[in-house]
Amino acid sequence: MNITDEMLYAAAPEAAERWLDTLPGREDCGHDFSLTFEASMASILRRRGRRRWRSLALLAAVIAALAALLASGAVAERPDNYRVYAAQEDGMVSYSARPKDTGVDLPFRPLTPGWAPEGFTLDKDRSTVQGHAVFSYHSREDPDHRYFSVEQWHGQEQNGLFAGNFTLEDVEVDGEEAILIYNPDTSLSRLLWTQGADVFLLSAKGLEREDLFQIAENMKW
């Protein structure tokens, strides 16, 4: 029997459901997710309107796969003297950021956005743990298509990897090196920069370029 593309497409949903059925329920899972992970996933699932544990497990599997790619070296080689760096290859974007100061002797002080576009509100699902903070906002009128989050890491280099075709642009935030990563077709964008002992990543959808820099340059203690 010849297997056609149509047959594969028809069988895919059932195959996915059977795979999900093999996953343990949340109550049977022995792993305790971090506060940061829980807050980030809750925000994502709320926007998608899906709160099922299986969806969370599937998303975690995707994240694990991306992490495996990162660990295996599927990241473009970086120069030795970079502060922020990003590269795109085969539909994957890798990024790295190195703070000026190691920050080991400096206390972690989370910064929050001092400005947000009109009509945006702070999500309840936010987290601050030692050395890492996440703050998420969404538009009250269009929460599914207009939102942003700011992550802050303290005192250490950060690396990441995500899929998609993006444009990479060297820019500045408050006079510091930064990288703007955006896709005009999907209105998805990321802005990566450092400040002192901290690394910041602003991730957004549906925001104008000017909004990104307005947020980044108005972070407050």
3-state helix, strand, coil in the chain (%, to 5): 30, 35, 40
Residue span(s) of the chain under CATH 3.30.200.100 come to 78-220
Of all residues in the chain, the percent with pLDDT exceeding 90 is: 43
Count other C-beta atoms under 10 Å from residue 91's C-beta.
Answer: 9
Q: What is the pLDDT of residue 10?
A: 45
Q: How far apart are the first and last CA of the chain?
A: 65
pTM of the model: 0.68
Q: Binning pLDDT at 50, 70 and 90, where does residue 101 land?
A: confident
Residue 181 has pLDDT above 80, yes or no: yes
Q: Mapping DSSP to helix (H, G, I), strand (E, B) and coil, where does residue 173 land?
A: strand
User: Of the candidates 144, 146, 112, 138, which has an alpha carbon nearest to the alpha carbon of residue 127?
Assistant: 112
Fill in the DSSP letter of residue 27: G
Residue 28 CA to its chain's centroid (Å) = 28
Residue 75 has pLDDT above 80, yes or no: no
Residue 82 has pLDDT above 60, yes or no: yes
Average pLDDT of the chain to the nearest whole number:
77
Choose the weakest-confidence range: 70-79, 94-103, 169-178, 179-188.
Answer: 70-79
Of all residues in the chain, the percent with pLDDT exceeding 70 is: 61
Q: What is the pLDDT of residue 128?
A: 75
For the domain bounded by 78-220, which CATH number is listed?
A: 3.30.200.100
